Chains A and B, each alone.
Chain A
Amino acid sequence: MLKRGRREALLGAVVLASPIALLLAFVVYPVVYVLVAGLVYGPGSTLIDTLQSPVTQRVLSFTLAQAILSTGLTVVLGLPAAVLLTRVEFRGRSFVRAAMIVPFVLPPIVVVVGFIRMFGPYGVLDTMAMVLTGSGRPVVDLSSGLTGIVLAHAFYNIPLVALMVSAALETLTPEIEEMAELLGASTVQKWRHIVLPHIRSGLVASALLTFLFCFMSFPIVLALGQGRYSTLEVQIWSAFRYFDYGQASSLALVQLAVTLTVAVVYVLVSGQDSSSGRSGRIKTVTFGQLPFWWRALAAAYTVLLVVLLAGPIAAIVYGAFYDPITHEISLDGMANLLRPGVGGGLAPLVNSVAYAGLATVFAIVLGIPLAYAQVSSRRRVSVLSSAMTLFPLGISSITIAYGLMRAIAVPLGLSISPWPLIVIAQTVIGLPFSTRAIEIARRKIDPGLLDQADILGASRLQRLFFVELPLLAPGILVGGVFAFAMAIGEMSATLFIALPQNYTLAVAIYQYLAVRKFLEAGAAALVLVIICLVAFLVMERVSGETAGGTI
């Protein structure tokens, strides 16, 4: 008996430890290696050179400025959405709330396509403006430069702020607010002294996450900035392309310092959140009960939000069939997806599905033990596992790809066929999401059920296969779908690593955009949108709560 118990314990430890070991080998080691190697051996600029260079200073200040601007705009636009979603009853509220997750899973490069076709020259908005002004040339361009970057970041993160703040608002019991009213607080005083302090940690946490995402944003800056604007992430990529490893590593170090600081603050802030669960009742009003001016304001705001959030997604559909250069409806973009050979869309499509599929399998296989380690009663195990899972979120994809290329590809001779590295990078990027979904499902399992299995004589493996895994299945499905969506949309690391024969759809879109093949880009983007929508529907169907909770 004892022997069997000990062998199972050992097996358990190996199973729990192996993903951590793999993450150490394929994430931590490469990142540390390139940082050290780049800084110590170069070749290229030294850390001091890099820090003193005016280019670095300009890039760093632009990176910070655009991230702060984007975060500010996101919070300003996201906060009213949170209040409306929580406090105002309207038809379709639960659908809107569920659909808020869609922008988050859309690949950034797809968002770029949507933005160009919605807000860019000859886009939907511009076409309307051109008709109104009678001008023959584009009059509105909100998709390029700083405006485009900031708006696209807002598109991405408004749902995040809205969902996180709305979750915080939901924990405020109506009695607290009624009490404040009874004790003489005016509406403004009530918001200032009661509601804002209540949602403060949720608001700060969502703003920090937004800042983090914007700070590390790559495809949006690269594609909408059109080379005139460069962030740290873009600069690391171009330094690597010019073999200035010293500069790439120095910049990666600077970026890491900022992101890790923000990440630590984020963990501290979100750890403070002591609010207890959802309130049984939530104070709501129906739309009709609002005073006229509020209704007008809410309606105007909603229109703005619909244009900003749903507009680009709708524009992708339209952009897949409408050629802005020839002004014709055409199926050429779609046909291109099935065309083999150079420049055709078939190879990227096949690559995308294959890499993302493999990455999803790995993300689940590694995610299950990681999720178990996170719910472990031993604090050290759970902390190590959460840190390892969240690590990729704090490190930019470009840095990971850079590490993989120099630390793994060269010694293993993968430089001429680097596709396994793409799968690794996509696994690492999908892993936090698959692990989180599985962890949530694991926490929901009633421990009494597992005790029952033990008492009824199941061995640990029998218990795992016959009791736990079936109960985990919905969580695994949600996690897998989420990981697949993140992997197939991944562009930064893939672009960094891929040789032309390894291009995925996301990379292909970027290439098409660069040569103004809008139809081809639109069609490929549409495929990714459809994949993400299907993913969203699966997540909703299986478990709405889990899908939201995974963010």
Chain B
Amino acid sequence: MVRVELRRLRRVFGDGTSVGPVDLTVEDGQFMTLLGPSGAGKTTTLRMIAGFIRPDSGNLLFDGESVLQIPPRDRGIGMVFQSTALFPHMTVFQNIAFSLDMAGWKHEDVVARVEELASLLRIRRLLRRRVDEISGGEAQRVALARALARDPRLLLLDEPLSALDPQLRERLQLEIRRIQRKLGITTIYVTHSQEEAFAISDRIAILRDGIVVQVGEPEDVYEHPADEFVARFLGGGNIFKGQVVAASNGLLTVDVHEIRFEVAGESPVGSTIAFSVKPEDIIIDLDAGANLHPAYVQSVIPQLGSYRVTLRLNDQQVVAIVRSTTLARHLRSAGDMAVYVGFEPTDVAIIPPSEPVATSGRDIA
């Protein structure tokens, strides 16, 4: 369909906030998700790609050609908003047919195209309804059908599922993915939910304060967060920060709030480092042992196939995943008694420090 390149795209707003410079390449047919906390500039970036916001500097290329001078309607874009923005005075059919009618299609062609889309999105039975007579999930399907009507080469989705309940959201994620694969359409998706991003994307771009801080495949980003911000935002691991007090043969001893951990890695003695340990790699024992440190149980929450255990280790909260029901029961009845936690030095990922961001960005939605 189209290869999209954002080259140092930047916009400064009247109130002094800014977004960018954003550098990002989305390959033809790729599903790219812009992920970040609210205010990171995701929606602004998307609206710059659509053409609703004019960037102050930088360039936007579709298949190598700049589209900055092209108005939104001629960029060949389909878009879906969280609010759906369905036209309230029209039926579902009229909504989907809108762009075809505007382009002056013949009526029978319009009918054929709308029915084709309705089949693709499984909304044939809704076509005669008014848009205030359909549910939130149905409205998103209609909005998607409308966006796809004229075979756009790029699909932009701005938090389309955020207002839906979790089960419906999951179903529609799969649906969007299925349709995107089937049509092979280049897609840029904005969300603040890392779960959603992991579930749906080929690649994820993580934004912070208007800057892309990491781009990669979901596993990649999860396993190797580029910096502390990404690690904390993705929430995949327990993050520890401390000073290296000894180093030998690729094994560091790190002092974290007066607890000494052994960590595989390289760093000079005296330096401060951060590292993360994933919840499933935390070891919990009821008895003391080597490289285990006393901690207190705060909560034990059952979840699918395991228990999520929260502990307090000195001043730090640690999250662990426990699969054994017996251990979980013991932990739950531990009360004020100490249990012992630790991890293998090789299960640790050392995190580069986050660079402070000079300008602050803001989401304009």
A and B held together in a complex: yes
Interface residues of A (CB under 8 A from B): 173, 175-176, 178-186, 189, 193-194, 197-198, 274-275
Q: Is the CB of B85 within 8 A of A175?
A: yes
B87 surroundings in chain A (CB, below 8 A): 176, 179-180, 193-194
Give Cα A274–Cα B132 distance, bound, in whole angstroms.
Answer: 10
Q: Is the CB of A185 within 8 A of B89?
A: no
Closest chain-B Cβ to A204's Cβ sits at a distance in Å of 14
B73 adjacent to chain A (CB < 8 Å): yes
Known contacts A176-B87, A194-B87, A198-B89; A184 and B81 CB within 8 A of each other:
no
B50 surroundings in chain A (CB, below 8 A): 178, 182
Known contacts A182-B50, A183-B98, A184-B150; A175 and B77 CB within 8 A of each other:
no
Q: Is the CB of B72 within 8 A of A182?
A: yes
Closest chain-B Cβ to A175's Cβ sits at a distance in Å of 4
Q: Is the CB of A173 within 8 A of B85?
A: yes
A275 surroundings in chain B (CB, below 8 A): 88
Q: Is the CB of A197 within 8 A of B73?
A: no
B267 adjacent to chain A (CB < 8 Å): no
A183 surroundings in chain B (CB, below 8 A): 73, 98-99, 102, 146, 149-150
Closest chain-A Cβ to B97's Cβ sits at a distance in Å of 10
Of B72, B103, B146, B149, which is within 8 A of A178 by CB?
B72
Q: Is the CB of B146 within 8 A of A197?
A: no
Closest chain-B Cβ to A233's Cβ sits at a distance in Å of 38
Q: Is the CB of B73 within 8 A of A181?
A: yes
A179 surroundings in chain B (CB, below 8 A): 79, 81, 85, 87
Q: Mark B55-77, 1 if CB is under 8 A from A, else 0.
A: 00000000000000001110001
B13 adjacent to chain A (CB < 8 Å): no
Chain B contacts with A in 88-124, Cβ cutoff 8 A? 88-89, 98-99, 102-103
Closest chain-B Cβ to A169's Cβ sits at a distance in Å of 14
Q: Is the CB of B77 within 8 A of A184?
A: no
Known contacts A197-B89, A198-B89, A274-B132; A184 and B99 CB within 8 A of each other:
yes
The secondary-structure label for the interface of chain A is: helix
B83 adjacent to chain A (CB < 8 Å): yes
Give Cα A189–Cα B99 distance, bound, in whole angstroms.
Answer: 11
Q: Is the CB of B89 within 8 A of A184?
A: no
Q: Is the CB of B52 within 8 A of A178?
A: yes
Give Cα A198–Cα B149 distance, bound, in whole angstroms.
Answer: 23
Interface size range of chain B in the complex: 20 to 34
Give Cα A56–Cα B81 distance, bound, in whole angstroms.
Answer: 59
Give Cα A183–Cα B72 distance, bound, in whole angstroms.
Answer: 9
Give Cα A197–Cα B89 distance, bound, in whole angstroms.
Answer: 7
The chain A residue sitting closest to B82, CB to CB, is A175
Known contacts A185-B73, A274-B132; A180 and B98 CB within 8 A of each other:
yes
The chain A residue sitting closest to B98, CB to CB, is A183
**17 additional A-B residue pairs with CB within 8 Å, beyond A178-B72, A185-B73, A193-B102:** A175-B81, A175-B83, A176-B85, A176-B87, A178-B52, A178-B85, A179-B79, A179-B81, A179-B85, A183-B99, A183-B150, A184-B73, A184-B103, A189-B102, A194-B87, A198-B88, A275-B88
Q: Mark B119-147, 1 if CB is under 8 A from A, else 0.
A: 00000000000001000000000000010
Interface centre among B71, B87, B149, B150 (most CB of A within 10 A): B87
Q: Is the CB of B72 within 8 A of A181?
A: yes
Give Cα A185–Cα B150 distance, bound, in whole angstroms.
Answer: 13
Q: Is the CB of A182 within 8 A of B79?
A: yes
Give Cα A180–Cα B72 distance, bound, in whole angstroms.
Answer: 10
Give Cα A182–Cα B85 distance, bound, in whole angstroms.
Answer: 12
Give Cα A186–Cα B73 distance, bound, in whole angstroms.
Answer: 9
B72 surroundings in chain A (CB, below 8 A): 178, 181-182
Q: Enumerate the 6 nearest inter-chain pairs by beta-carbon distance, A residue then B residue, closest first.
A: A183-B99, A175-B85, A184-B102, A179-B85, A197-B89, A184-B73
Give Cα A210–Cα B99 distance, bound, in whole angstroms.
Answer: 37
A178 surroundings in chain B (CB, below 8 A): 50, 52, 72, 85
A173 surroundings in chain B (CB, below 8 A): 83, 85
A-B contact pairs, 10 of them (CB 8 A): A173-B83, A175-B85, A182-B78, A183-B146, A183-B150, A184-B99, A184-B150, A185-B98, A193-B102, A198-B88
Closest chain-A Cβ to B15's Cβ sits at a distance in Å of 15
Q: Is the CB of B83 within 8 A of A185?
A: no
Closest chain-B Cβ to A194's Cβ sits at a distance in Å of 6
Q: Is the CB of A185 within 8 A of B81?
A: no
Interface centre among A181, A182, A184, A185 (most CB of B within 10 A): A182
Give Cα A189–Cα B98 distance, bound, in whole angstroms.
Answer: 11
Known contacts A173-B85, A178-B85, A198-B89; A185 and B102 CB within 8 A of each other:
yes
Closest chain-B Cβ to A178's Cβ sits at a distance in Å of 6
Closest chain-A Cβ to B131's Cβ sits at a distance in Å of 11
